Amino acid sequence: MKNKKDWTILLVGFLGALKLFLTSLGINFITDDMINSFVDMLSFGVALYAVWKNTYVSNRAKKQKEVLEKNKLI
């Protein structure tokens, strides 16, 4: 597996199978509240990353913005 997408699919599939197996044994190790909390934290992280990548706050991004403005692309 060469990229993050493959690893993510593998991990999510494994965790889903593990949850089903443990639930079938009567073990509620991974609860729905835990899953919801994880998804909420992941969504928060993705939102922060999107804001960071789509604003010109880092030094590199400021230079990029200057070049874009100079070439009248924004």
pLDDT in tens, 3-36: 888 888 898 899 889 888 988 999 888 788 988 9
Confirm if 8 and 16 have CB atoms less than 8 A apart: no
Q: What are the boundaries of each domain within the chain?
A: 1-30, 31-74
pLDDT of residue 59: 87
Predicted local confidence at residue 48, as pLDDT: 94
Per-residue confidence band for 37, with pLDDT thresholds at 50, 70 and 90: very high
Residue 67's φ and ψ, nearest 5 degrees, are -65, -45
Residue 44 banded pLDDT, cuts 50, 70, 90: very high
pTM of the model: 0.59
Q: SS3 of 12, please? A: helix
